Structure 1
């Protein structure tokens, strides 16, 4: 049986800004991390959030919550850290998201693509790299890719970055180049073309994903590749080109 539970006004005032975890009682697994104030932590279960679309209603997070409730169980709500200064709450949430792989969060942690988990070698490699021109003249789509099996393979980078994204296909089709970005470093540059729905009609042998798109590109010409990528990648210093939470950024479009 589901029991409604809320914090009193006194408790809410004492908590201030907090970061929380939702835990599946069936296996003890943390499946969602969020931030909030007041009774935000309970809003997911109580269905009080305002969903942006029907797709959100059938998200991995909501599907899991329904499955737990259908078994007559209750989700465990954990306040992981409270009374967090406003300027630090995004960083605490991001660090916690990074610490729990496989979460149902649809967005990554704040600046995780820039300052997320890296081993010592990756840190040195990132900050010793040359910087990208802060104001390139080309029209660009910059796409953050989290994992590449082999960054030395241009084919594998293209395979990862070209498919399949929630993106404004009309706007993206106006770009001259698509840049593959990993942890704030440009690792690939590709000639852009029209973006197509993520279906087998345009992308044979790949999983069809409704509402997403991909492009059929090829590596940029040598001078452009050297300009954007160089030998081992180029670090993005322009804040307007950096990814925050969403994987897509536009430049000059």
Structure 2
């Protein structure tokens, strides 16, 4: 199925969902603009992601995912983003095959505890901290509705081009950067020790099978008493911002 040109024009900017007919549950939320993007997911694809596996499982039972329109006639792409993000947050990223929470998550679903942590946290100037750290920016994959295992997994996986000198212990048998901080909107939401690095997909994960080239993951332990946990990170008085590669080194 696809929309006719007339129907697509009438839709304008819209937000849609893919629904599993076996339980009538939404498993993917997306946005589009006067086109058939909602149906593109149902075409044969080479990649093997969680969404495609869900579609394949539905078809194995001689059924077909249903496309539902959640909101249409929106005035702009930004309006779509403002609708899409809270829907994803309401359902919970962990209950969807979407890979990220969506845009505008800094204003999205949070517990009262999370709001206080993100917006009431005490500032700390990183230049005053002496230890070696890796900061992992998980803004797009973090959700307060995730389990501890899921938060751990989205912190430790799947990082691109982690240098060999970072992954391999030195002559003293220790890693150069032994501590990982999970950072959301400049606030440290979790801290972990790093025990070892592995190729992506080599260890147990809650995120599904994933083994691209030149990506890496670590294993470690939660540090409940790390001094930076729950603090807002600053550098020269400004919030620490996410990097394009998703992580950065300190000291």
From the two aligned structures, give the one with the greater strand fraction: 2
2:216 equivalent to 1:213: yes
Partner of 2:87: 96
2:239 equivalent to 1:249: no
- How big is the shift at 1:41? 0.7
Partner of 1:73: 63
Check whether the contact 2:186–2:241 (CA below 8 A) recurs between aligned residues.
no
SS at match of 2:87: helix
SS at match of 1:180: strand
Check whether the contact 2:186–2:240 (CA below 8 A) recurs between aligned residues.
no
Alpha-carbon distance in 2 for matches of 1:60, 1:218: 27
After TM superposition, the structure 1 stretch with the greater mean CA deviation from structure 2, 94-103 or 116-125, is 116-125
Partner of 1:142: 136
Number of matched residues? 220
Check whether the contact 2:186–2:239 (CA below 8 A) recurs between aligned residues.
no
Alpha-carbon distance in 2 for matches of 1:19, 1:125: 31
Check whether the contact 1:143–1:161 (CA below 8 A) recurs between aligned residues.
no
Partner of 2:232: 234
- How big is the shift at 1:88? 2.5
What is the root-mean-square deviation in Å for CA atoms of aligned residues? 4.0
Segments of structure 1 that go 5 or more residues without pairing to the other structure are 150-155
2:9 equivalent to 1:13: yes
Check whether the contact 1:116–1:183 (CA below 8 A) recurs between aligned residues.
no
Q: TM-score scaled by structure 1?
A: 0.66
1:126 to 112, 118, 129: 118
SS at match of 1:87: helix
SS at match of 2:27: strand
